[in-house]
Amino acid sequence: MTTSTALRPSVRAALYALIDYAGLFPPAQLSVTAAQAEYASARAGPHAWMLGRFIVPAAVLDGWSGIEAPFSVILDGEEELQGLSAIRERNRSVAAIEVPPKLWAQGETFAEAIGALRRGLAGARAGLDVFVEVPSAAYSPQSLAQTMPAVARAGFCAKLRCGGPTGDAFPSVEEVADFIHAASRAGVPFKATAGLHHPVRHLDAASGFTMHGFLNLLAAAALASRVDAPTLQRIVAEEDASAFRFDDDSFAWRDERVGVEELTQTRLSVFVAYGSCSFSEPIDDLSALGILSAR
């Protein structure tokens, strides 16, 4: 991968391997061939250091041929959940799995269901990051207070869905803030997905939806342990791009600063990645904001 040496240390700490590539999924929904080509192009480009895993449905790996990549595999059916060992045998590049609510959040309490999932995966998940997508029904503070510790006990990571094709797919500012607070408090790494092509929360003119920003999530994750609930909500709700700043030594939201070492730790243990079906859009936006400029 190409590496730039001109970036501010805080920018590299904040954005390194941040974007898991999801070109096979809507709204891009590219063919396998086109998605492979885009991922390969990104890996050869100047911003390859920002590129994370290639997200694929488990079914796609059955006939996979092409580029070698670290894969994050989305399991879609019970047979895939039960056949995880076989999936790994067929493709040694699987680095993570993502489990949608329909495969685990059924019938029991969410905490009990997490325990059942842990027992079901058993040794098949050894060495993998397991991201369990938390259903929107569990976004209340009361439910998160039970669910996140259960995720931590299982040794799993969490997944936050930030949008979709309809307005009700977008969690509120309060729900996102509560999710981040609960994950931080329980010591659960999380990734986010959907509606996060752009760095800062904004009204999308084409859809009419107000979309969350990945810099908002990063700042909230980095500051969750030291700010109160109203401030955390203000961070998630921030729509002024100038409120987010990078210098050599820190990343800041308004007057709250996060040093490079703390920022690095945030990326390792709190907000670890987000999925995007476009790699170019976040790059273009970050460039327009001057964040990817040389010092």
pTM for the structure as a whole: 0.94
pLDDT bucket at 1, cuts 50 / 70 / 90: very low
Q: Which CATH class is domain 9-288?
A: alpha beta
Taking residues 200-222, report their average pLDDT.
95
Mean pLDDT of the chain: 93
Taking residues 49-65, report their average pLDDT.
89
Q: Residue 254: pLDDT above 60?
A: yes
Taking residues 192-218, report their average pLDDT.
94
Q: Residue 294: pLDDT above 70?
A: no
Strands lying side by side in the sheet with 256-259: 244-246, 250-253, 256-259
Q: Residue 285: pLDDT above 90?
A: yes
Q: What is the DSSP string of 188-238?
A: --EEEESS-SSSS-EE-TTT--EE--HHHHHHHHHHTTTS-HHHHHHHHH-
**What is the pLDDT at residue 96?**
97
**What is the pLDDT at residue 92?**
84
Q: Please name which of 220, 212, 173, 167 lies closest in space to residue 193, comparing C-alpha atoms.
A: 212
Q: What is the DSSP letter of 49?
A: G
Summarised one tens digit per residue, pLDDT across range 110-158 is: 999 999 999 999 888 999 999 999 999 999 999 999 999 999 999 999 9
Taking residues 248-273, report their average pLDDT.
97
Instruction: Report the chain's C-alpha Rg in angstroms.
Output: 18
**What is the pLDDT at residue 295?**
54
**What is the pLDDT at residue 3?**
40
Compute the distance between CA of residue 192 and CA of residue 284 in angstroms, rounded to an integer: 20
What ranges do the domains of the chain cover?
Answer: 9-288
> Percentage of residues in the chain with pLDDT exceeding 90?
81
Taking residues 18-36, report their average pLDDT.
94
**What is the pLDDT at residue 123?**
86
pLDDT bucket at 6, cuts 50 / 70 / 90: low
Are residues 34 and 285 in contact, defined by beta-carbon separation less than 8 angstroms?
Answer: no
